[in-house]
Chain A
């Protein structure tokens, strides 16, 4: 067999997500009154980038066969913080961005410590830590608001268009892939994350640094959630501690990850797939729009897509021949 076929096989989930996205987006653009224009693409990109970043954050943890139910709250917390610190001179803005990213990383590290050192189940641990993160967000922004000195230069640059054509948010996504995801994927830690998610026992037997790798995965998850928080601030110029928003993003990030071909049982998939999963999931709403279906049905459609997506994994049950394996 040729090399590319193995590559194809390994990236099947990601490529499938890409295909789903292209079909849905193509459908949307073809039926859009304005057609395929830079503005339509920019609007879609800006709508998708938040979920894409949160889904990437979720991917890191899901690859370890865990789940992060606090990711939406980290996102909200970083949004509230950013609405205070993205102010003043470019240097101050840079410091503010750094502070927000560091906050995200700390949130991730807290989750990692609870899950890895405390040996708590990720699901309950992150529900509880999510409450703490949301509490901090609420402390920062008891009411939605913005800082009058908010520095909108960076925000406008990162949400606008480069050369008048390419949406800057897409370039930012691509940059995170090239500068963070790919190096991670190719590092020893990255490979260990995949190995631990696939078979923790085998990874242990092979002498891989499991704890270190898992820790890094949770921290990177926090970092990506902080990117999303920054971007939300760039769009709105303000911060809002909205529990509903946080929960929605947590939920949709799981949907995007599943659509993006990342296995919830760990060890399989990529953040690139998660990006396409997120964009495709966002496209559901757009499709409902162009087909003039009442937007009220959108949550239901998204819920059903999510339900179907998580049920697909059940197909493996039909291969189980020893029922005791079901209980593993």
Chain B
């Protein structure tokens, strides 16, 4: 009796278990934001405007994908700002090395990001330094490297043609950046749901001891996840450089808080182990729309910062509370 129900359930998991409350809430908020926006401007609901928002969101989406991976582990990556910048600068730098550099610009930028992520990963997984601390330190080192490399000025190298095609151009009205995000997202969903690595990530985020005692190479998984996060942050930087035509100092600073916020608002637990990529997509769109509406409503930067902070704390209080410590 019980086995037949079990069999039936394995075949089709009921919807209510796949869609959790935060994701529904996030999508609900998106609808509300769109409604509010359309009151201000009628072309808020036009396909062009929405595609434009998706394009802007795509950069954050790529960066947030890596951040989500790390947060699923119950960790955090605060080195994202300068990893983004480093990816952008290194990819652009490769261009200036001639035709070969032009070809290798994107992989080189991403590889540099992976290297940064590996340092984070080794620190967290093998040296067991709290992730927020080691990633802060690595962020400082990445900044130091880039400042020393550029001399503190805006770098003169411009993005490669491929970077510009990927980030700034469109085909049949569909921005390539959106397609890139779709591909990255599809790979992320596949990795999280269909690979042993993805299962291990969720397992470690839920209970690292249990994952370790199940014979999962927890340290290696954590290290790889940080490397992927670094790689994706750098890739985001590469796209941003392609979008703007060149890299800039501190270009990544504006992406740390939104990336964390997008992941958390999408229902991924800041303590790890719980969350779906769909939620992160919702979170990214939500953040992007929020930014857009705040600027349409002509709310100044200070207002955006305050609203950001308040929204994140509010959502965290709803979903992200840790259990009572004592007794």
Q: Give residues in A with beta carbon < 8 Å to B.
A: 67, 69, 114, 118-121, 123-125, 127-139, 142, 200-201, 204, 210, 241, 243-244, 247, 251, 254-255, 264, 294, 296-304, 306-307, 309-311, 313-314, 317, 323-324, 326-327
Contact = CB atoms under 8 A, between A and B. Distances in A.
Contact of B144 (A118, A130, A137, A299): A299
Contact of A120 (B136, B303, B307, B322): B322
A251 B136 contact: yes
A131 B270 contact: no
23 contacts: A118-B316, A118-B317, A119-B321, A119-B324, A120-B316, A121-B320, A127-B260, A128-B261, A128-B316, A131-B309, A251-B140, A299-B140, A300-B147, A303-B137, A303-B138, A303-B142, A309-B137, A310-B129, A310-B137, A311-B129, A314-B129, A317-B128, A327-B212
A121 B322 contact: yes
Given A120-B317, A128-B312, A303 B306 contact: no
B139 interface: yes
A143 to B, nearest CB: 11
Contacts of A247: 253
A303 B143 contact: yes
Nearest to B312: A128
Given A131-B257, A311-B127, A300 B76 contact: no
A311 B310 contact: no
Contact of A130 (B143, B212, B309, B323): B309
Contacts of A201: 325-326
User: Which label, helix, strand, loop or mixed, suits the secondary structure of the A interface?
Assistant: helix
Interface in B246-299: 250, 253, 256-257, 260-261, 264, 270-271
Interface string B219-245: 000000000000000000000000000
B322 A254 contact: no
A302 B136 CA distance: 12
B60 to A, nearest CB: 16
B209 A327 contact: yes
Nearest to A110: B313
A132 B309 contact: yes
A124 B305 contact: no
B305 A142 contact: no
B309 A326 contact: no
A165 B138 CA distance: 40
A313 B137 CA distance: 14
Contacts, number: 172
Interface size class on chain B is 35 or more
Could you say which of A118, A123, A142 has the most chain B C-beta atoms within 10 Å of its C-beta?
A: A123
A304 to B, nearest CB: 6
A304 B302 contact: no
A8 B35 CA distance: 66
A310 B134 contact: yes
A110 B51 CA distance: 39
Given A119-B322, A135-B303, A302-B140, 5 more contacts: A124-B270, A132-B308, A135-B302, A299-B143, A299-B144
A282 to B, nearest CB: 15
Nearest to A323: B212
Contacts of B138: 303, 307
B300 interface: yes
A313 B128 CA distance: 9
Nearest to B143: A299
Contacts of B198: none
B208 interface: yes
A244 B312 contact: no
A200 B305 contact: no
- What 6 pairs across the A-B complex have the smallest Cβ distances? A300-B144, A135-B305, A303-B140, A132-B309, A135-B306, A138-B302
A308 B310 CA distance: 35
B209 A324 contact: yes
Interface in B132-161: 132-134, 136-145, 147-148, 151-152
A248 B142 CA distance: 13
Given A254-B133, A300-B145, A200 B326 contact: yes
Contacts of A244: 250, 253
Contact of A296 (B134, B152, B302): B152
A327 B321 CA distance: 20
Contacts of A134: 305
B17 interface: no
A201 B324 CA distance: 12
B48 interface: no
